[in-house]
Chain A
Amino acid sequence: MPAVSKGDGMRGLAVFISDIRNCKSKEAEIKRINKELANIRSKFKGDKALDGYSKKKYVCKLLFIFLLGHDIDFGHMEAVNLLSSNRYTEKQIGYLFISVLVNSNSELIRLINNAIKNDLASRNPTFMGLALHCIANVGSREMAEAFAGEIPKILVAGDTMDSVKQSAALCLLRLYRTSPDLVPMGDWTSRVVHLLNDQHLGVVTAATSLITTLAQKNPEEFKTSVSLAVSRLSRIVTSASTDLQDYTYYFVPAPWLSVKLLRLLQCYPPPDPAVRGRLTECLETILNKAQEPPKSKKVQHSNAKNAVLFEAISLIIHHDSEPNLLVRACNQLGQFLQHRETNLRYLALESMCTLASSEFSHEAVKTHIETVINALKTERDVSVRQRAVDLLYAMCDRSNAQQIVAEMLSYLETADYSIREEIVLKVAILAEKYAVDYTWYVDTILNLIRIAGDYVSEEVWYRVIQIVINRDDVQGYAAKTVFEALQAPACHENLVKVGGYILGEFGNLIAGDPRSSPLIQFNLLHSKFHLCSVPTRALLLSTYIKFVNLFPEVKATIQDVLRSDSQLKNADVELQQRAVEYLRLSTVASTDILATVLEEMPPFPERESSILAKLKKKKGPSTVTDLEETKRERSVDVNGGPEPAPASTSAASTPSPSADLLGLGAAPPAPTGPPPASSGGLLVDVFSDSASAAAPLAPGSEDNFARFVCKNNGVLFENQLLQIGLKSEFRQNLGRMFIFYGNKTSTQFLNFTPTLICADDLQANILTKPVDPTVDGGAQVQQVVNIECVSDFTEAPVLNIQFRYGGTFQNVSVKLPITLNKFFQPTEMASQDFFQRWKQLSNPQQEVQNIFKAKHPMDTEITKAKIIGFGSALLEEVDPNPANFVGAGIIHTKTTQIGCLLRLEPNLQAQMYRLTLRTSKDTVSQRLCELLSEQF
């Protein structure tokens, strides 16, 4: 039993509580409670009307049972009856029961509201107080409907007692929070504002809370509160510690009210100059007091003082207009970073986080980097370390990104599991945002996977792939790095995913090195296959089929794997389907079709980073967004300067501020439909750093070249950045070619220089006009080339294009399809003329014959079209065998004209052709035969 029992003790209640406490077991307690519930139920149901005291006692017992964690489903009516009692103690217990155990029974609510209405009208301040407390504690919509109109009147009435005013203010605040639509603004608002001048500090405190909440939604209505709040605050901070009597708390004058006034001021921008000067004085005084020796050693003193200080700093950060105050605030927080009180270190880290986003104090915050890194390493409390991570993230910029990312990575090795995923996201975002060198970015992400693979969410590894696909300067490095990382005996499945995807796209870039030959790459990936989950295996199967296209030499090996029972008969439908389809695709499709279907992925569209979106979701939208917005604005300043000096290696690049915010919708593990023209990526020689004068021919260039032998218009070359289109016409020994260079990106190409390189033996005069050195994003420029064929020739000129894209040097070379047959003039002739000429050209050097296998379906109409496209006339009904094709024409050069006859004999059964060329010049026969043989 307690020593003290003030007021009227309810002995029965005390006995019951003692009984419960004496219960030895949970079962005994439940038994005792059930016995009591049965007793109370019978009393409530009994014929004998209970007196008020008994009702109060039993209701109180029910309340206690409820507080022990048991459900109470009766007694509400008795409690409501108590509300209308004239005895204060009974009324009080009734209200308490209702406040704690609200029930949305509509009948009861009506009765409760009725009782409250009577008490509010009673003019008895104690009863009014009880009624107001009940409304504030329940705060239901029904109560708001009933009383939201009434309470403002009580609040501003001249004769209302101070304590009732306080309750009314907070009661109205509660109703406004739950049902803002039911609290009408009106005349009363200006009178509430004037409560800030009230003599009673308790009234001012309650009113300030109310005004702060109302002002957030209705700033215009309450803007006069600013100057009143400033003058009130000024009076408090300059008062002697004894002036405010009982409102001084451990030598700190009115700390609660000060905090509330400072919060109210955070609803508004910096005030007018006159008021502003006074406010600045207040804030300076608060900052000065922090430097004074403490008036008490009690923690309450320092807590109260620092509560006001932190709120003042919040206001300074909110105004973000006084560089002097911001820097002082930052220095003050810097002191707290090393304070022995954990609470203060925690709050200083948190507060500095917001300070870091102000342009005035960002640099000042950065000076504390070592302390914060130290906190990350030494703090024993995970919540404090979490704040340190947040602050490092907030203070990160170009200048310190490498250091911060390195520290976060090393912290990640030992970090608490609860915050690993968030750190992973933050590292991934910082690494991308501040990557000057994308090789660093790739290294960082692979490290992330190595250290905390389990916490690397899908978004993170999608993202690294997206960036590698979109930036061809890093593709070779990425392929080399993942290849090396995969060598580790145990590597995380996420690494297998990234590695599989990247090698499938760019494995060709490192295949030249015998240490990473196609077969070695494949074996390495396949050695991980059986340890991986189904989605990863599915991805690897896609990698394999991409290998079939990239590396014909491993096709058989891969087909064997696909053909094995463990794939073709895999229990998983997705794996089985992929195996079957890929195997079939590799068997039936021609190299052309394979190259088209399995072409390199096109660049991803630019969107908001999915990682950033995820972090926002994790941290709640409000806080992160604001910070990110401001940080993004700043990052524009940092990144958007003049074009940096040309980097020494081709891997360095400068991302544009928006380009690093790409987003990825869904995982694209399977190959998707490519754009029409086949193309390869830019071949980068990853094992040598020197940027050679002209790039080797782009892969696929040979194929495209062949396609132009029989046609004059079309797309010659295409990669992620650039498209080259051609339009040409030839007459006799002259030709004119229009080359169209299209910039596929949204960024300018600079120093754009196309050059035609002619082999020594080229007997053609080629005249080109220079083009503009800048090609705007999305724009197309045209170049005209005039050609004169001097004599017959073999080698085609090479078109080399060099330009700068986003800081990287690009170098593309393609063969320009200017071939001897372009100078053909068709010649019609009758059958006997043909055979006569044919016999005249019977000198062995004049005839060249080639027997070859058909590469395309043997279709008569297509073959005819190709012969006509080749330039010669197609002679019908000349050859006795109608299946054969015969053509004739004259090659025009500046010096001579060369008559040409050709005969093509298809053998459908063997899928072979025999092509015979007879011309008056052996080199011409040879060249034309080569060119035409490639077409069928």
Chain B
Amino acid sequence: KEKKKITRELVQTVLARKPKMCSFLEWRDLKIVYKRYASLYFCCAIEDQDNELITLEIIHRYVELLDKYFGSVCELDIIFNFEKAYFILDEFLLGGEVQETSKKNVLKAIEQADLLQESQNEEWGGLSEDIL
């Protein structure tokens, strides 16, 4: 419930801001760093001493990762493959810290996992019941 309230409050605050405004805003005792890509906003909440600019580039690197993985990522890719978006995020960030900044290394990990899935899928029969 608290999470929903926070989300609503943040969405309102960030959407109210105009394009030329700075990408950082103070919110409660945290700072919000956000960036807009087409119709999507990406937000991070960071602490007082954290570096705002590098956080902005964390967002960008994540978008690059999605873009590379999906190939010209769009909003629908993220909706229909939300679990993949999570997996990529887990490889890139963990516990709120950057785990691996190399694009190559992150994508390699995800692709290996996908390979595992496909090899296991082969043993698996048809997809007839899948619609329910």
A interacts with B: yes
Enumerate chain A residues within 8 angstroms of B124, measured Cβ to Cβ. 53
How long is the Cα–Cα vector from A133 to B109 in the complex, in angstroms? 13
Q: B49 to nearest A CB, angstroms?
A: 8
Cβ-defined contact, A173 with B20, below 8 A: no
Question: Which residues in chain B, 44-92, are within 8 Å of chain A measured between CB atoms?
Answer: 48-49, 51-54, 56-58, 60-61, 69-71, 74, 76-77, 79-84, 86-87, 90
Cβ-defined contact, B98 with A256, below 8 A: yes
Q: A421 to nearest B CB, angstroms?
A: 15
**Counting CB contacts under 8 A, is A667 at the interface?**
no
**Counting CB contacts under 8 A, is A11 at the interface?**
yes
Cβ-defined contact, A246 with B84, below 8 A: no
How long is the Cα–Cα vector from A209 to B93 in the complex, in angstroms? 12
**Counting CB contacts under 8 A, is A69 at the interface?**
yes
Enumerate chain A residues within 8 angstroms of B98, measured Cβ to Cβ. 205-206, 209, 256, 260
Cβ-defined contact, B116 with A254, below 8 A: no
Cβ-defined contact, B131 with A2, below 8 A: no
How long is the Cα–Cα vector from A64 to B84 in the complex, in angstroms? 12
Enumerate chain A residues within 8 angstroms of B70, measured Cβ to Cβ. 2, 4, 6
How long is the Cα–Cα vector from A436 to B96 in the complex, in angstroms? 50
Cβ-defined contact, B101 with A202, below 8 A: yes
How long is the Cα–Cα vector from A42 to B107 in the complex, in angstroms? 38
Cβ-defined contact, A6 with B51, below 8 A: no
**Counting CB contacts under 8 A, is B6 at the interface?**
no
Question: Which residues in chain B, 23-56, are within 8 Å of chain A measured between CB atoms?
Answer: 23-26, 29, 48-49, 51-54, 56
How long is the Cα–Cα vector from A89 to B87 in the complex, in angstroms? 11
Enumerate chain A residues within 8 angstroms of B12, measured Cβ to Cβ. none
Cβ-defined contact, B57 with A307, below 8 A: yes
**Counting CB contacts under 8 A, is A192 at the interface?**
no
**Counting CB contacts under 8 A, is A259 at the interface?**
yes
Q: A263 to nearest B CB, angstroms?
A: 8
Interface centre among B69, B80, B117 (most CB of A within 10 A): B80
**Counting CB contacts under 8 A, is A96 at the interface?**
yes
Q: A360 to nearest B CB, angstroms?
A: 21
**Counting CB contacts under 8 A, is B15 at the interface?**
no
How long is the Cα–Cα vector from A429 to B21 in the complex, in angstroms? 30
**Counting CB contacts under 8 A, is A137 at the interface?**
yes
Question: Which residues in chain A, 13-36, are within 8 Å of chain B measured between CB atoms?
Answer: 14-15, 17, 21
Enumerate chain B residues within 8 angstroms of A174, measured Cβ to Cβ. 94-96
**Counting CB contacts under 8 A, is A63 at the interface?**
yes
**Minimal Cβ-Cβ distance residue in B for A89:** B117
Enumerate chain A residues within 8 angstroms of B22, measured Cβ to Cβ. 342-343, 345-346, 381, 383-384
**Counting CB contacts under 8 A, is A163 at the interface?**
yes
**Minimal Cβ-Cβ distance residue in B for A63:** B83
**Minimal Cβ-Cβ distance residue in A for B17:** A381
**Counting CB contacts under 8 A, is A548 at the interface?**
no
How long is the Cα–Cα vector from A650 to B47 in the complex, in angstroms? 50
Cβ-defined contact, A205 with B114, below 8 A: no
Q: Mark A164-199, 1 if CB is under 8 A from B, else 0.
A: 001100110110010000000000000000000000
**Counting CB contacts under 8 A, is B118 at the interface?**
yes
Given contacts A7-B114, A163-B100, A346-B22, contact A303 B56 (CB under 8 A): yes
Cβ-defined contact, B54 with A304, below 8 A: yes
Cβ-defined contact, B51 with A259, below 8 A: yes
The one of B53, B94, B100 in contact with A136, judged by C-beta atoms closer than 8 angstroms, is B94
Enumerate chain B residues within 8 angstroms of A39, measured Cβ to Cβ. 132
Enumerate chain A residues within 8 angstroms of B94, measured Cβ to Cβ. 132-133, 136-137, 166-167, 170-171, 174, 206
The one of B29, B77, B96, B102 in contact with A201, judged by C-beta atoms closer than 8 angstroms, is B102
Q: B48 to nearest A CB, angstroms?
A: 7
**Counting CB contacts under 8 A, is A931 at the interface?**
no
Enumerate chain B residues within 8 angstroms of A263, measured Cβ to Cβ. 49, 51
Q: Using a Cβ–Cβ cut-off of 8 Å, how many residues does chain B contribute to the interface with A?
A: 63
**Counting CB contacts under 8 A, is B10 at the interface?**
no
Enumerate chain A residues within 8 angstroms of B76, measured Cβ to Cβ. 1-2
Enumerate chain B residues within 8 angstroms of A139, measured Cβ to Cβ. 95
Cβ-defined contact, B113 with A167, below 8 A: no
How long is the Cα–Cα vector from A247 to B102 in the complex, in angstroms? 5
Q: B9 to nearest A CB, angstroms?
A: 14
Interface centre among A7, A57, A63, A201 (most CB of B within 10 A): A7
Interface centre among B53, B56, B74 (most CB of A within 10 A): B53
Enumerate chain B residues within 8 angstroms of A53, measured Cβ to Cβ. 124
Cβ-defined contact, A249 with B114, below 8 A: no
How long is the Cα–Cα vector from A132 to B95 in the complex, in angstroms? 10
Enumerate chain A residues within 8 angstroms of B104, measured Cβ to Cβ. 246
How long is the Cα–Cα vector from A300 to B74 in the complex, in angstroms? 21
Cβ-defined contact, A307 with B53, below 8 A: yes
**Counting CB contacts under 8 A, is A67 at the interface?**
yes
The one of B53, B58, B77, B95 in contact with A4, judged by C-beta atoms closer than 8 angstroms, is B77
**Minimal Cβ-Cβ distance residue in A for B127:** A11
Enumerate chain B residues within 8 angstroms of A308, measured Cβ to Cβ. 54
How long is the Cα–Cα vector from A6 to B81 in the complex, in angstroms? 9
Q: A72 to nearest B CB, angstroms?
A: 13
Cβ-defined contact, B95 with A347, below 8 A: no
Question: Which residues in chain A, 368-399, are within 8 Å of chain B measured between CB atoms?
Answer: 380-381, 383-384, 386
Enumerate chain B residues within 8 angstroms of A15, measured Cβ to Cβ. 131
How long is the Cα–Cα vector from A209 to B22 in the complex, in angstroms? 27
Q: B77 to nearest A CB, angstroms?
A: 5
How long is the Cα–Cα vector from A493 to B114 in the complex, in angstroms? 70
Cβ-defined contact, B83 with A60, below 8 A: yes
Given contacts A6-B84, A11-B127, contact A300 B118 (CB under 8 A): no
Question: Which residues in chain A, 33-85, are within 8 Å of chain B measured between CB atoms?
Answer: 39, 53-54, 57, 60, 63-64, 67, 69
How long is the Cα–Cα vector from A346 to B87 in the complex, in angstroms? 34
Cβ-defined contact, B130 with A10, below 8 A: yes
Cβ-defined contact, A246 with B102, below 8 A: yes
Question: Which residues in chain A, 553-568, are within 8 Å of chain B measured between CB atoms?
Answer: none
**Counting CB contacts under 8 A, is B2 at the interface?**
no
Cβ-defined contact, A88 with B56, below 8 A: no
How long is the Cα–Cα vector from A255 to B102 in the complex, in angstroms? 11
Enumerate chain B residues within 8 angstroms of A303, measured Cβ to Cβ. 53-54, 56-57, 60
How long is the Cα–Cα vector from A347 to B54 in the complex, in angstroms? 12
**Minimal Cβ-Cβ distance residue in A for B21:** A381
Enumerate chain A residues within 8 angstroms of B127, measured Cβ to Cβ. 11
Q: A13 to nearest B CB, angstroms?
A: 8
Enumerate chain A residues within 8 angstroms of B52, measured Cβ to Cβ. 307, 310, 343, 347
How long is the Cα–Cα vector from A840 to B126 in the complex, in angstroms? 146
Cβ-defined contact, B21 with A383, below 8 A: yes
Cβ-defined contact, B117 with A343, below 8 A: no
Q: A633 to nearest B CB, angstroms?
A: 22
**Counting CB contacts under 8 A, is A257 at the interface?**
yes
Cβ-defined contact, B101 with A8, below 8 A: no
The one of A64, A100, A166 in contact with B100, judged by C-beta atoms closer than 8 angstroms, is A166
The one of A12, A60, A170, A386 in contact with B130, judged by C-beta atoms closer than 8 angstroms, is A12
Pull 16 A–B residue pairs with CB atoms less than 8 Å apart, ordered by A. A4-B70, A7-B118, A8-B117, A10-B130, A57-B130, A88-B116, A88-B117, A163-B100, A166-B99, A257-B101, A304-B54, A304-B57, A310-B51, A342-B21, A346-B24, A347-B24
* Residues of B bordering A, CB below 8 Å: 4, 18, 20-26, 29, 48-49, 51-54, 56-58, 60-61, 69-71, 74, 76-77, 79-84, 86-87, 90, 94-105, 109, 112-114, 116-118, 120-121, 124, 127, 129-132
| Given A384-B21, A622-B48; 20 other pairs, CB 8 A cutoff | A2-B77, A5-B81, A11-B130, A63-B82, A126-B112, A126-B113, A133-B94, A137-B94, A163-B100, A171-B95, A173-B95, A174-B94, A209-B98, A263-B51, A303-B56, A304-B57, A343-B24, A343-B52, A347-B52, A383-B26
Closest 9 A/B residue pairs (Cβ)? A174-B95, A307-B53, A307-B54, A246-B102, A136-B95, A170-B94, A342-B22, A381-B21, A11-B130
* Residues of A bordering B, CB below 8 Å: 1-2, 4-8, 10-12, 14-15, 17, 21, 39, 53-54, 57, 60, 63-64, 67, 69, 87-89, 92-93, 96, 100, 126, 129, 132-133, 136-137, 139, 163, 166-167, 170-171, 173-174, 177, 201-202, 205-206, 209, 246-247, 249, 254-257, 259-260, 263, 300, 303-304, 306-308, 310-311, 314, 342-343, 345-347, 380-381, 383-384, 386, 620, 622-623
